Amino acid sequence: MDLIALQGWLDNASFAVLFAAMLLYWCGVAFPKATVLPSLGTAAMAVGNLTVAALLGARWIEGGYFPMSNLYESLFALTWGITAMHLVAERMSRSSLVGAVTAPIAMAIAAFATLTLPDTMQGSEPLVPALKSNWLMMHVSVMLLSYAALLVGALLAIAFLLVTRGQAVELKGSSVGTGGFRNVKLRRAEDAAEASTVMTMSTGGAAVLEKPATVTLSPQRLTLADTLDNISYRMIGLGFPLLTIGIIAGAVWANEAWGSYWSWDPKETWALITWLVFAAYLHARITKGWQGRRPAILAATGFVVVWVCYLGVNILGKGLHSYGWFF
């Protein structure tokens, strides 16, 4: 089997499938009644995920080394990570809005790798001596997975900002537990409107509610904005440990290979900056008076910071961390 021809086919296919996923999700948002569209979108994302995985697998077999060592490979690895994290976030939130923001980014990265990168940068090349280590796999894969999780989290924060534009919001979910309490104003309004309402539960709930006279306590559900915000927080909460582990793996590797666990090289510094920005985000969520849209703005800033960390450093210069650039 011709692995190189297969790769050429797979990278175009993954771009096409992700493009289809984006259209399906967007149509799903435009026509909320067509519930089949988001399901098809999910299927397309899953297919895209598998296509990219197959592409990377073919590379691994062809090149004989872990396929995350030049820009083309790492872009597809990132696409894989974003589609995987998208599926996690969608499962967590059960909201089709997730795909409306993640699919375009996954598609754009695949498009960039397939169409924009010159052919000379798409081929697989042997590793330089410094990268011949098992740490490469550990460090690079965890870093890319963390970028993917942080990007998806930041995208959801952007979606949250769009959904709540012009509103004052109170966040739920933080390490100290500021959420979880009833919104009293809302509660009173509800009581007035529906004095003898039934619990908002489906089956099995009916037997329970036989005291209509008094005000019955019923669960106050999360709104769409709450859900987006919380899933954004959980995805960043997932990406943050991955980023920490990735940076530490890189530091330990550097110390074992060159004798210095931290040398303030631009990529290292930007990984630290990313870590600090998301640490600030996590702390902003538990700060009195900073809840609402402010942490989400920080997370949206984090979106840019991750990109600078991932790509900007390549444009900046050479070094072990540079995958190269083409202008």
Write the interaction track for another protein spanning residues 278-317; mark x where CB under 8 A is met and - where it is not: -xx--xx-xxx-x----------------------x--x-
The interface with another protein within residues 24-63 (CB under 8 A) comprises none
By CB under 8 A, tell whether 273 contacts another protein.
Answer: yes
C-alpha–C-alpha distance, residues 107 and 91, integer Å: 20
Cβ closer to another protein: 158 or 222?
Answer: 222
Count the site residues for another protein by CB under 8 A: 80
Q: According to CB under 8 A, which one of 122, 197, 269, 322 is a site residue for another protein?
A: 269
* First CA to last CA distance, the chain: 34
CA–CA separation, 285 and 234 (whole Å): 12
- Cβ closest to another protein, residue 34 vs residue 198: 198
Q: Is residue 208 a contact point for another protein (CB under 8 A)?
A: yes
Pick the stretch among 24-32, 79-87, 97-105, 261-269 that binds another protein (CB under 8 A): 261-269
Site for another protein in 92-151 (CB under 8 A): 92-93, 126, 129-130, 132-133, 135
Q: How far apart are CA 121 and CA 71, in angstroms?
A: 7
Burial of 236 (0-12, 13-18, 19+ CB in 10 A): buried
Shortest reach from residue 23's CB to another protein, in Å:
27
18-43 in b/e form (b: 16+ CB < 10 A) is bbbbbbbbbebeeeeeeeebbebbbe
- How far apart, in whole angstroms, are the C-alpha atoms of residue 235 and residue 218? 29
Handedness of CA 238, 96, 30, 296 (dihedral sign): negative
Q: Is residue 182 a contact residue for another protein (CB under 8 A)?
A: yes
Q: Which stretch binds another protein (CB under 8 A): 3-11, 34-42, 115-123, 277-285?
A: 277-285
Which residue stretch of 17-25, 75-83, 152-160, 251-259 sits at the interface with another protein (rule: CB under 8 A)? 251-259
Question: Residue for token digits 């990735």?
Answer: 246
Q: Indicate which single residue of 2, 119, 166, 210 sits in contact with another protein (rule: CB under 8 A).
A: 210
CA distance linking residue 87 with residue 106, whole number of Å: 12
Stretch that binds another protein, among 14-22, 109-117, 160-168, 266-274 (CB under 8 A): 266-274
How far does Cα 305 stand from its chain's mean position? 14
The residue from 237, 296, 299, 300 that contacts another protein (CB under 8 A) is 237
Judge whether 240 and 282 are in contact, CB under 8 Å.
Answer: yes
Minimum distance from residue 53 beta carbon to another protein (Å): 25
Stretch that binds another protein, among 63-71, 101-109, 162-170, 274-282 (CB under 8 A): 274-282
Backbone angles phi, psi at 281, to 5 degrees: -60, -50
Q: Does 180 bind another protein (CB under 8 A)?
A: yes
The burial of 131, by beta-carbon neighbours within 10 Å (0-12 exposed, 13-18 middle, 19 or more buried), is given as middle
Q: Which of 277, 299, 300, 306 binds another protein (CB under 8 A)?
A: 277
Q: Does 238 bind another protein (CB under 8 A)?
A: yes
If phi > 0 it is left, if psi is from -120 to 50 it is alpha, else beta; for residue 185 that is alpha
Verify binding: residue 217, another protein, rule CB under 8 A. Answer: yes
Within 76-95, which residues bind another protein (CB under 8 A)?
92-93
DSSP 119: G
Is there binding between residue 207 and another protein (CB under 8 A)? yes
Backbone angles phi, psi at 102, to 5 degrees: -85, -35
Q: Is 261 in the site for another protein (CB under 8 A)?
A: yes
Helix (H, G, I), strand (E, B) or coil at 299: helix
